[in-house]
Structure 1
Amino acid sequence: MPFLRALFGSIGLLTLVPANAWAQWTVSSPNGSTSISVSLHPSTGALSYSVTQDGAVVLESSALGISTSAGDFVNGLSFVSRSNAVINESYSLPGRKKASYLNAANEAVLRFSKGGQELHLAVRAYDDGIAYRYRIPGSGALSIYSESSAFNLPDTATGYAQSYVSNYEGYYPARGSFTSGTLGMPVLAAVDTRWVLLAESDLGGSYHTSQLTGGSGNTLRWSWPTATSVNTSRQFNSPWRLAVIGSLATLVESSLVENLSAPSQLADTSWIRPGRSGWSWRAGGNQSDYNTHVSFVDSASAMGWEYYLVDEGWQASWVPSLVSYANTKNVGIWLWVNDEDVKTESQMRTLFSRWAGWGVRGVKVDFFDGDSQVTMQLYEKLAQVAAENRLLVNFHGCTKPNGIGRKWPNVLTQEGVFGAEQGELSAAHNVSLLFTRGAVGAMDYTPGAYSNAGGQTTWAHQTALPVLFASYVQHYSDHGAMYRDSVAREFLRALPSSWDDTRLLEGHPSQYATLARRRGNDWYVGTISGGAGRTAVIPLSFLTAGTNYTAHIYRDGTSDNDIAYQVQQVSSTSVLNIPVRANGGAAIRITSQSVPVVPSALYKIINRQSGKALAVQNASRSDGAAVIQWAYVDSTTNDEWRLVDAGGGYYGLLNRNSGRTLDVYDASAAAGAKLIQYTSRGSANQQWQLTDVGGGYVRIVSRHSGMVLDVESASLADGANVIQWPWSGDANQQWQLVQVGSVP
């Protein structure tokens, strides 16, 4: 009997296979749990693949193949060779859900030939999934006519997917099967005890975005939203076709889409700063009126947010003035633009250069509403030209994330979601998003829409959404007063938009979700219900053992529009039991700061040795006025302070009388430097940590210098200067916070 030679496993391992047998090549992940096997049919020469995890079949035999002007690589293929590689790289991003990304996989490139032309199939196995792409070597023009690729799910698979629309603004309903319909990715499937998230990555401008079309046997076939061929050149790489596989936590925490993307094209990303943004479009007001935007800039500044987005209706005559005004408030301006006005590179360069010259920080480009190759090329060019002008980017009315945020890190978010601007959205929809659209990249849902709840969700549910929905410029879509007057104001002031760790604690796509994210030493937890009320049981084992923490809990109150606030001391052994109303939720900030601080409280700060209060000299309201100690006077306000959360366990100390912040003069790091008040700039010499020293007293530590507030020469006199000095433990360095009121 004649024999064929086929490669199994590593290069050089040859196995004799009968001529009428299938040839098969397997790649296993670094820990051996996930395997993808590629097969070549002995008579038709057609390729297929299957996937297992821990021995269980996840994807059954699924078709491979691509038809091009260089050859129809759907059948008639002959095996040429195999090469192996180990993928092992780490990288970081400015906008991120984890501090460091690890791209670790085993890869095989299988070479096949037909009619003198070659097709290369690159296959990767990750511990949390698989991916493959087609490569066509050579040079010159190339047309892609169609693709025969498929995901063949087991017949019993169920899941969640939206019907395809080009802006991805739809729901993700539960599906009993995938035997029909044209679906937009990502598609979430339940396969026995595992979950599978189907998506793609690294489109660049070389391909159409794809859809998945359901068919018999739960076979999802790749298709395009247009009949137009792809026009490209060789050497050609198709997008990666990928499946994230594992538990729901695996899917939510995965970075497979980013790992498969092209690496960053920017050598310098120091200017790319994620942040929070106010946004007036959904809240209303005359968008053409300068004063409308001034008021929203003021609101963003009061919340400590970094940005404000000026949406459709802005006037070139007043934008430079608004930018200048916003700069005085430490708020950066973004501008909205219709994609029709930046279709050509010439248009982009003219407008982006002009706006950057005004001092604009970012652009929101809207109304793409298409997934063709031409539109994909437009995304790429917009990101590139924006980066050349040091502009941040938010795509709207757009495609889903395909890894562009890694290739162009200035793209901090994109819509591609049925979000809060659409009106009252159900709690069930919000739950489903975490496991579908939210799992593949930053999502500009514009959360925190209290006035949009309308009985569909509670206000505590809305407060939790900015934790669950990552957007590296997080747009808050309600009126400034809704945040200023909220019980959760201090939570929203402190909440970051970029993260060092992300962990799904519990959840189900149709029921509820609890997610924890960390920035620095602080953890933020969001939990929401998509239906019936429940008790969220949240073990805090993710906290550092042996460290004491304070949990600030904002949960459902006595009505849907009531947020109850409580403070609780916790540790890694604690378990929180949070009552959640129907369609409700809770948001929690857990900080290692050991001194509980009441949001919106006013304090007198009393020195332990002298019994006198921290005060601004002569009740001055000017920058640079000295900070001293003085006997507390109930009728004055220059000796009362509000603590404003600066993140990472630090606070700004805001004087009630002047509205200015406690500051180390000249940002000095020297012992003996005097304390003054100054306009808040968010700098480290204006940020302070309160550390418990016992007996109800704290030391107040400068973030900039590491030194503490000290009454000079341990004086007992009114008017003695307050300075910074290395910690000695003496009574003149110890202070007591006594609440005397609260801001409205």
Structure 2
Amino acid sequence: MKKFTLIFLPLIIFCLLSEVKAQVAEISSPDGKLKLNIFSEEGKALYSVSFQGKSMLEKSPLGLITNESDFSKNLKFINSKKDFVSKKYSNEKIKKSEVEYKANTLTVNFTNADQFNMEIEFQVSDNNIAFRYDIPAMKDRFSCVVLSEVTSFKFPSQTTTFLSPMMKPMTGFARTAPSYESGYKADAELGTKAEYGYVFPGLFHIGNDGWILLSETGVSSLYCASHLETTSDKNLYKVAYPNMVENNGFGSSGASLSLPGKTPWRTITVAENLKPIVETTIPFDVVEPLYEPSQKYQFGKSTWSWILWQDNSMNYDDQSLFIDLASKLGYEFILIDALWDKNIGKERMKELIQYAKSKNVDVMLWYNSNGTANDAPMGPRNKMSSSIERKKEMKWLKEAGVKGLKVDFFGGDKQETMRLYEDILSDANDFGLMIIFHGTTLPRGWEVMYPNFAGSEAVLASEMLYFSEDVRKQEAFFATLHPFIRNTVGSMEFGGTFLNKYLTKSNTEKNRRLTTDGFQLATAVLFQNPIQMFAVMPNNLTDAPKFQLDFMKEVPTLWDETVFIDGYPGKYSVIARRHQNKWYVAGVNAEKTAKKLTLNLPMLVGKNVELINDYKSGITFTKQISISKKGIYEIEIQPNGGFVLKN
């Protein structure tokens, strides 16, 4: 027995030392709850994440592959260094206007078989991790192409997913996909395959241990956007670059990078409950403005005819009616959608803009993004893709008095498309124009990076409620997901809040709305975007109850604070938002039975507030109520219904 111990004791000690040596660095959040470990094992860089001592991400690969050198294998850990970052910033376009960000930082340095270095920079704040790769010059090489990443996320086996599949490239309307307009599956099995992967952001439920939200931020013209894909290991999700078929097969699938160069940030929000998921500001914390605003941009509410009156409404007389509607509602804008160039023309458009000015309404105009990467026929076309044409057009727009553009039909995440987004935004800023993107990718920190960026669609939005009965049936389901997933990482121009009972111009016969008026009003608060194109119609001035119109006149689109109150994605959602000193609490219910909730509302303690809610019959009502000194209020939300409390 003693002989056995003498022979194997050194081996046991060696194994223990090797295991310790495998972990090369660690860092925790300022509050100590979130912990990140870095490992160097068998020539690979890996990381793991725990929260309050519970494993949230198991050992997951790090690294990337370039055309000059491979940083995914044969890696050797060199060193690490720690630091701290703290900043305060203001941004009126996001969920919280004043932000204080504090994070511990860790930079780890690896060298590969070619003796080239790769640094990985981590910032760990309370509930959030952001990391990116930094590639120095490779001897006499000052540029490279990043072909792919091995960056992955390995989840515990009890995890379920809330993901939206990437659309098949060059499909859909006029071959404009992918445009981030697929639905979600709630609590799906880990490892469920999607042929083209899943878009960012992605939400993961780690059973009783908590939640993780994955996304990316800081994508500019210097890189491509990425998404998630499944692997042969069902627990492991990997960062993937754009499909070569996108944009009619033209352009790259990786990223051309000047050295030294940095990748975009990958973000991981980790929490035991959904509150930090809804309230996170990490997409904005780690990015900086890329240029100064040429002026002070004004945001607000807008009317638009196209959502229900469609293409035929793009004429002088109908747009005059929607200018009048905006004026009566006190809205700042009208959006004049596709085909205005053909049906109204530039000369009459100048007249229409002057008419709008006389009504204290500013004009936004629709544009096709290019016309070269898809078959979208609507005009104006070929005005945004060429630098010369774009600047000529924007000069005219500024002289005519246009305040912003809605640019549509992008359909891809390639670096070439990221350049187009940035070129449009940068040129538009020179001419004092705001930009909203539709048929588009997820905005990745753009509210901070581009001062004149005013929101993106990138969601199964209101237009599909008009076109699809199936989407109408799932409207409440999707609405309960957006505050936790899509809308928590970026502005979301949904274009909703219908007061018509039927989603048609006549408000009769077909496309019956399946949600209550209370639900529709709640989404005006639940969905956040600095400019909201609301679907209020001229007929609503006479056929909608006065309290509903009053609400639609008053509801802000800019918020100083956002607070999670209650909810579960796919079932129900209750969110509070503050504008100056006024609080709005909004909730919707996607379940088949009424939802009784006891809400904790410290922001409304002892206050008299207006309640908008639905009776069991589906009729929406309003009344004044008082919130107790304990801040507790019991409410019942009807199926496909919603409520608002406002002080």
Correspondence for 2:104: 106
Whether 2:599 is the aligned partner of 1:538: answer: yes
Contact 1:27 1:124 in 2 (8 A): no
**Deviation string for 1:579-615 (max 9, x for gaps)?**
322111112221xxxxxxxxxxxxxxxxxxxxxxxxx
Q: Determine which of 198, 204, 216 is the counterpart of 1:189.
A: 204
AA of the residue aligned to 1:312: A
Contact 1:94 1:272 in 2 (8 A): no
Correspondence for 1:170: 182
Q: Determine which of 32, 43, 46 is the counterpart of 2:44.
A: 46
Correspondence for 2:624: 567
Correspondence for 1:582: 639
Higher mean C-alpha displacement, 211-220 vs 414-423: 211-220
Correspondence for 1:136: 135
1:269, distance to aligned residue in structure 2 (A)? 6.9
Residues 107 and 17 (structure 1 numbering): CA distance in 2 closer, same or farther, change over 3 Å?
Answer: farther
1:38, distance to aligned residue in structure 2 (A)? 1.1
Higher mean C-alpha displacement, 315-324 vs 249-258: 315-324
Correspondence for 1:634: none
AA of the residue aligned to 2:122: V
**Deviation string for 1:246-286 (max 9, x for gaps)?**
1211111111111122x123434752122011111112063
Whole-Å Cα distance in 2 between the matches of residues 511 and 383 of structure 1?
A: 37
Contact 2:160 2:207 in 1 (8 A): no
Contact 2:327 2:360 in 1 (8 A): yes
Paired residue secondary structure (2:277): helix
AA of the residue aligned to 1:386: A
Correspondence for 1:388: 430
The percent of aligned pairs where both chains have the same amino acid is 27
Correspondence for 1:551: 609
Q: Determine which of 269, 272, 281 is the counterpart of 1:255.
A: 281
Correspondence for 1:224: 241
AA of the residue aligned to 1:55: G
Correspondence for 1:59: 57
Contact 1:404 1:411 in 2 (8 A): yes
Contact 2:94 2:530 in 1 (8 A): yes
Contact 2:293 2:451 in 1 (8 A): no
**Deviation string for 1:615-634 (max 9, x for gaps)?**
xxxxxxxxxxxxxxxxxxxx
Whole-Å Cα distance in 2 between the matches of residues 20 and 432 of structure 1?
A: 42
AA of the residue aligned to 2:179: N
Please list, as runs of the form range in 1=range in 2, the aligned pairs for 1:190-589 lying within 5 A after superposition: 190-193=205-208, 194-215=210-231, 216-227=233-244, 228-246=253-271, 247-261=273-287, 263-268=288-293, 271-284=296-309, 286-314=312-340, 315-340=345-370, 341=382, 342-423=384-465, 424=472, 425-451=474-500, 452=503, 454-482=512-540, 485-487=543-545, 488-531=548-591, 532-543=593-604, 549-557=607-615, 559-560=617-618, 562-570=619-627, 572-589=629-646
Residues 290 and 110 (structure 1 numbering): CA distance in 2 closer, same or farther, change over 3 Å?
Answer: same
Correspondence for 1:698: none
Contact 1:172 1:433 in 2 (8 A): no
Whole-Å Cα distance in 2 between the matches of residues 208 and 480 of structure 1?
A: 42
From the CA coordinates, give the structure whose radius of gyration is larger.
1
Whole-Å Cα distance in 2 between the matches of residues 244 and 484 of structure 1?
A: 46
Whole-Å Cα distance in 1 between the matches of residues 151 and 236 of structure 2?
A: 10
Residues 103 and 483 (structure 1 numbering): CA distance in 2 closer, same or farther, change over 3 Å?
Answer: farther
1:396, distance to aligned residue in structure 2 (A)? 0.4
Contact 1:95 1:409 in 2 (8 A): no
Whole-Å Cα distance in 1 between the matches of residues 359 and 600 of structure 2?
A: 40
1:399, distance to aligned residue in structure 2 (A)? 0.2
Contact 2:94 2:447 in 1 (8 A): no
AA of the residue aligned to 1:498: L
Whole-Å Cα distance in 2 between the matches of residues 211 and 524 of structure 1?
A: 34
AA of the residue aligned to 1:382: I
Higher share in strand: 1
Please list, as runs of the form range in 1=range in 2, the aligned pairs for 1:635-646 lying within 5 A after superposition: none
Contact 2:303 2:322 in 1 (8 A): yes
Whole-Å Cα distance in 1 between the matches of residues 192 and 314 of structure 2?
A: 49
Paired residue secondary structure (1:163): coil
Contact 1:555 1:578 in 2 (8 A): no
1:430, distance to aligned residue in structure 2 (A)? 1.2
Whole-Å Cα distance in 1 between the matches of residues 629 and 282 of structure 2?
A: 29
AA of the residue aligned to 1:155: S
How does the TM-score come out when normalised to structure 2?
A: 0.85
Whole-Å Cα distance in 2 between the matches of residues 354 and 499 of structure 1?
A: 33
Contact 2:314 2:337 in 1 (8 A): no
Correspondence for 1:97: 95
Contact 2:23 2:37 in 1 (8 A): no
AA of the residue aligned to 2:242: P
Whole-Å Cα distance in 1 between the matches of residues 185 and 542 of structure 2?
A: 36
1:572, distance to aligned residue in structure 2 (A)? 4.9
Paired residue secondary structure (1:318): helix
Over 6 Å off, 4+ runs:
none
Contact 1:141 1:232 in 2 (8 A): yes
1:126, distance to aligned residue in structure 2 (A)? 1.5
Higher share in helix: 2
Contact 1:323 1:360 in 2 (8 A): yes
1:574, distance to aligned residue in structure 2 (A)? 4.1
**Deviation string for 1:301-328 (max 9, x for gaps)?**
1111111101012121222111111112
AA of the residue aligned to 1:119: M
Contact 1:287 1:313 in 2 (8 A): no
Whole-Å Cα distance in 1 between the matches of residues 409 and 23 of structure 2?
A: 48
Residues 396 and 511 (structure 1 numbering): CA distance in 2 closer, same or farther, change over 3 Å?
Answer: same
Correspondence for 1:731: none
**Deviation string for 1:315-353 (max 9, x for gaps)?**
212221111111121111100000012112222211112
1:219, distance to aligned residue in structure 2 (A)? 0.4
1:62, distance to aligned residue in structure 2 (A)? 0.4
AA of the residue aligned to 2:243: T
Whole-Å Cα distance in 2 between the matches of residues 55 and 160 of structure 1?
A: 24
Correspondence for 2:377: none
Residues 23 and 565 (structure 1 numbering): CA distance in 2 closer, same or farther, change over 3 Å?
Answer: closer
Runs of at least 5 residues in structure 2 that lack an aligned partner in the other structure: 1-15, 168-177, 245-252, 371-381, 466-471, 504-510
Whole-Å Cα distance in 2 between the matches of residues 99 and 484 of structure 1?
A: 36
Paired residue secondary structure (2:347): coil
Runs of at least 5 residues in structure 1 that lack an aligned partner in the other structure: 1-15, 591-744
Paired residue secondary structure (1:399): coil
Residues 302 and 48 (structure 1 numbering): CA distance in 2 closer, same or farther, change over 3 Å?
Answer: same
Higher mean C-alpha displacement, 338-347 vs 74-83: 74-83
Whole-Å Cα distance in 2 between the matches of residues 420 and 84 of structure 1?
A: 46
Higher mean C-alpha displacement, 581-590 vs 519-528: 581-590
AA of the residue aligned to 2:537: H
Residues 77 and 126 (structure 1 numbering): CA distance in 2 closer, same or farther, change over 3 Å?
Answer: same
Whole-Å Cα distance in 1 between the matches of residues 489 and 192 of structure 2?
A: 24
Whether 2:147 is the aligned partner of 1:145: answer: yes
AA of the residue aligned to 2:303: G
Correspondence for 1:659: none
Contact 1:283 1:478 in 2 (8 A): no
Whole-Å Cα distance in 1 between the matches of residues 549 and 645 of structure 2?
A: 13
Residues 484 and 93 (structure 1 numbering): CA distance in 2 closer, same or farther, change over 3 Å?
Answer: farther
Contact 1:94 1:274 in 2 (8 A): no
AA of the residue aligned to 1:530: A
TM-align CA RMSD: 1.9
1:370, distance to aligned residue in structure 2 (A)? 0.9
1:558, distance to aligned residue in structure 2 (A)? 5.6
Paired residue secondary structure (2:142): strand
Please list, as runs of the form range in 1=range in 2, the aligned pairs for 1:590-601 lying within 5 A after superposition: 590=647
